[in-house]
Structure 1
């Protein structure tokens, strides 16, 4: 069984972080539209994938 590429792991963690971030902002009383949540997710996933090294198994 192969290990998951570090870039994939970082992207998944960034997507989960967006969910928690928007949930916390909602608890603070601010409404975050779905479009903004999606945009934040894209930016965080892109950033996480960009800064994370590919690892040994990258093609």
Structure 2
């Protein structure tokens, strides 16, 4: 998947979090996603925009 190749800036990890537990008796675990989330509506835009920005940077 192309989307998992794009890392999120550490300052933005707090905006992509997963709260999880296996069962009601387990403690809640908190995870931060560090890559573009697959399946989100904006994922394809973010991946394409990132590639476009990298091309712009390489031209200069």
TM-score bucket of the superposed structures, by smaller chain: 0.3 to 0.5
Higher RCO (CA < 8 A, seq sep 6+): 1
Higher normalized strand content (fraction of residues): 2
Higher normalized helix content (fraction of residues): 1
TM-score (norm 2): 0.36
TM-score (norm 1): 0.37
